[in-house]
Amino acid sequence: MTIFKEIVDEEFLTVSETKELLADIETERALDEDRELRYELARAIEHVNRFALLEPEEADQLVEELQGLEKVDEPTAYKITNLLPQDRDELRAVYAQERYSLSGDELDEILDIVARYA
């Protein structure tokens, strides 16, 4: 017997936004003392606590600013915001599967924006 699940909606989130959502879930679980955190949830909380370097508002602003650039689409803006690349090589890794590559000036423009938030 095969069970199919339908994707109803999809939304990009920054690690910072995810941290807030998981904190709410963790608080709800803490109120219900009988319920233990599932392993996957505990690992996700640990991950976002380690890697959420920006406040959610800052992350949203960075995503918006990056989307204002010609070669940064929505998914890529979220990837860049979540990774906060520090140099051209790290940023090139984000674009590794794209059908185009960025010039040095385009890479530097993105890195300059990221540097203002990181």
What digits encode the pLDDT tens for the residues 55-82? 999 999 999 999 999 999 999 999 999 9
Average pLDDT value for residue range 22-47: 81
Which of 78, 50, 52, 51 is closest to 64 using CA atoms? 78
Contact 52, 15 (CB under 8 A): yes
Which of 56, 57, 36, 37 is closest to 48 using CA atoms? 56
Q: How confident is the model at residue 37 (pLDDT cuts 50, 70, 90)?
A: confident
- What the chain holds in terms of domains, given with CATH numbers, is 15-51 (no CATH), 56-117 (1.10.150.80)
pLDDT at site 41: 86
Average pLDDT value for residue range 45-58: 95
Q: How confident is the model at residue 34 (pLDDT cuts 50, 70, 90)?
A: low
Q: If 0-12 CB within 10 Å is exposed, 13-18 middle and 19+ buried, where does residue 104 land?
A: exposed
Does residue 30 carry a pLDDT above 70?
A: no
What is d(CA 27, CA 71) in angstroms, rounded to the nearest whole number?
A: 39
Residue type, 63: V
Q: How confident is the model at residue 92 (pLDDT cuts 50, 70, 90)?
A: very high
User: Rounded to an integer, what is the distance from CA 2 to the centroid of its chain?
Assistant: 32
Helix axes 15-31, 56-67, angle to 10 degrees: 150
